[in-house]
Structure 1
C-alpha cells in the first residue's frame, strides 16, 4: 500500500501539525505502508525530517517570520501542488492537511484520478476568519471552499468532538473520527533540570488565541514577584502590539519574544519553566477549539496555566482529578496573575514533574493518536480497493 501525505508544513519545521503528520507517517510505515510526503521546502538549516518516508519539497513564499501563512503563501504551495499530485505515482489514498484551499486542490486531482482522500479537519478555518474580522466576501468564499474540501473526502479526522459537531452543523456528512491529540513523546519527555523563574508560551499567538492578556497578567504578577520572565516562543501576528503593551506596562525588559525553534530545543525550555501558559479568547462562535500545545508541556512534566473557554479547560479540570497538571482559569487578568502567583510560590517538585510526564506519555502520546489516524487512512485505502474490484 502507498500513501501520499499533503501538507504545506512538515517536520522538521517546528509546529504541532508537523509533529502530528510525522507521527502519522511513522505509524503508517510501522504497518508496512510506503509513505511519500508532498510539502514545502524547509528553511535553511532546519535539516531533514525524514525517518524513512520519502519527502518531496517545493519552494514556497513565506511571511516575514518565515511561516507559510496567508492566502498568497498558501497559493504558492497549492498551485504547484496541482501538478505535483496530478503526475505523482498513484497512491492508494491521500491524507491532506488544511488550509481548505489545499483540500480543494486535492479533491479536484483525486476526482480526476479516482483516488480517495482523508482530510484532517483540525479546525474550521472559515469560523476563524470570521472572528478575525476578515472581509465577509472572503469568509463566504472560504466557507464554500472548506465545505467542498470536507464533503469530497472519504473520511475526516479531527482532534475534538467540538470540531466534529461543528462540521455536522455545516451540513457535512462525511464519516468523522475524533482521534484526540497528544505529544510526540520521543521528543517531549521528562529530563531533570533546575526550574528557572520563567513562564513560557510556546506556539502560535494570534487574535484567536488572545495571548496579549498574558502581558497584562504578568505585569500584575510582577508587582509582588520580581525577577521572573515571560517568554513567547513561536509565531505571532500581533507581536508589535504586544511589545508596545509590555513597554506601556513597564515590563518590556522581562518579556522575551523568540522565533520558532526545533522541537528538540523547545523541550528543555519546558523542562526549566515554572509553568507554561496557554490562552483561548472567549469568542462565542469559536469555543469548540482545543489548544493542543498543552500536551507538549505536560509530556515534559511542565504544568499548564490555561485561560479561556472551551474543551481545553474541561480537559485540564478532569485531568487534575488524577494528576497535578496545572489549572484552568477564566480569561481575566487577575485570575491569570493569581495562577502565576500560586505556581511561583508552590512550584511542582521534580518527582511530581516526572510523574506528570509519565502520566502524559501513558495516556496522551501522539503515537497512539497517530496510530488511530493511520488506521483510518489504511481502512479508507482498503475500502476503496474493494469498491474498485466490484
Structure 2
C-alpha cells in the first residue's frame, strides 16, 4: 500500500499533530506500506530525520512565533501543495490534516486523480474560529471550505464521540470512525526528576483555550506559595494577553515563556513539575474538544490540572479511580487556585508517578489509536482498487 500524508506540520516540529502523524507513519512503515509525507520545511534550526517514510518539504511563510498559522502561511503551504499532490506518484490513499484550506485543495486534486482520502478531524476549525476576533463572513467561508473537504473524504477519523456528533450536526454524513486519542509513550515515557516548585503549561494557547485564567489563579496561589513558577512552553495567539494579565497582576517575575521544544526536551519540565495545566474556555461551540496535551503529561507521570468543560474532565475522573492523575475543576480562578494548592501541598510519590505513566500507556497509548487509523486507511485504499 502506498500512502501520502499531507500536513503543514510534521516532526520534528513539536506539536500534538506532529507526534500523532509521525506515529501513523511509523505504524504504516512497520506494516510494510510505502509512505510519502508532503509537509512544510521545518523551522530554522530543526532537522528532518525520516524513520522509513519519505519526507518531502517545501518552504512556507511562518508567523512571528515561527508557526504555520494564519491565512497567508496557510496559502503558502496550500498553493504549492496543489502542484505537489498533482504530480507525486499516485498513492492508494491520502491522509490529510487540517486546516480547511488544505482540505479544499486535497479534495479537488484527489477528485481529479481519483484518489480516496481520509480526513483527520481532531476538532472543528470553523467552530474554534468563532472564538477569534473575525467577521461572520470569514466564519461562513471557513465553514463552507471545511464542510467541502469533509464531505469529499472517503472516511473521516476523529478523537471523540463529541466531535463526531458535531460533524453530523454540520451535515457530514459519510463514513467516520472514532479512533480516540492517546500519548506516544515512546516519546513520552514515565520520567522521574527532582521536584521543583513549578507548574507547566505545555502546548498552544489560543482563544479556545483561554489560558489567561491561569494567571488570575496563579496570582491568588502565590499569596501562600511565593516560591512557585508558572512556565508556558509553546506558542499561541493569546501569549500577549497572558503577558499583559501577568503584568497587570504583578506576577510577571514568576511567569516564564519558552518556545516549543521537542519531546525529549519537554520531559524534564513535566517530570519536575507539581502538575501540568490545561484549559478549555467554556463555549457553546467548543465544549466537545479534548485538551490533548493532557495525554502526554499523564504518560510522563505528571498529574494534570484541567479547568473547563469537555471530555478531558471525564478522562481524569476515569484515571483517578486507579491512579493519582490530577484534578478537574471549573473554569474559575478560585477553583483553579484551590486545585493548585492541593497539588503543590500533596505531590505524588515516585511510585505513584510511575504508576500513572504505566496506566496511561496501558489505557491510552497512541499505538492503539494509530492502528485504528491504519485500518481505516487500508479500507479506503481497497475501495479505490
Same fold (TM over 0.5): yes
Equivalences for residues 32-181 of structure 1 within 5 A: 32-181=32-181
Cα drift, residue 31 of structure 1: 1.2
Cα drift, residue 285 of structure 1: 2.0
Cα drift, residue 241 of structure 1: 2.4
Cα RMSD (Å): 0.9
Report the Cα distance in structure 2 between the residues aligned to 1:255 and 1:194, rounded to whole angstroms.
Answer: 20
2:289 counterpart SS class: coil
Deviation string 1:117-159 (CA, Å, 9 cap, x unpaired) is 0000111111111222421111111111011000000000001
Which region of structure 1 is more displaced relative to structure 2, 196-205 or 183-192? 183-192
Counterpart position of 2:16 = 16
Counterpart position of 2:262 = 262
Cα drift, residue 351 of structure 1: 0.6
Which region of structure 1 is more displaced relative to structure 2, 280-289 or 54-63? 280-289
Cα drift, residue 187 of structure 1: 1.3
Cα drift, residue 238 of structure 1: 2.0
1:291 counterpart SS class: coil
Counterpart position of 1:388 = none
Q: How many residues align?
A: 385
Cα drift, residue 317 of structure 1: 1.4
Q: Which runs of 5+ in 2 are unaligned?
A: none
Report the Cα distance in structure 1 between the residues aligned to 2:383 and 2:239, rounded to whole angstroms.
Answer: 47
Counterpart position of 2:204 = 204
Which region of structure 1 is more displaced relative to structure 2, 73-82 or 132-141? 132-141
Counterpart position of 1:348 = 348
Report the Cα distance in structure 2 between the residues aligned to 1:41 and 1:373, rounded to whole angstroms.
Answer: 25
Q: Which runs of 5+ in 1 are unaligned?
A: 386-390
Q: TM-score, normalized by length of structure 2?
A: 0.99
Which region of structure 1 is more displaced relative to structure 2, 242-251 or 356-365? 242-251
Counterpart position of 1:383 = 383
1:231 counterpart SS class: strand
Equivalences for residues 310-389 of structure 1 within 5 A: 310-385=310-385
Report the Cα distance in structure 1 between the residues aligned to 2:45 and 2:189, rounded to whole angstroms.
Answer: 24
Deviation string 1:179-227 (CA, Å, 9 cap, x unpaired) is 1111111110112211111000000001110000001100000001110
Report the Cα distance in structure 2 between the residues aligned to 1:277 and 1:371, rounded to whole angstroms.
Answer: 29
Deviation string 1:60-119 (CA, Å, 9 cap, x unpaired) is 000000000001110000000000000000000000000011011000000000000000
**Structure 1 segments (4+ residues) deviating >4 Å:** none
Counterpart position of 2:221 = 221
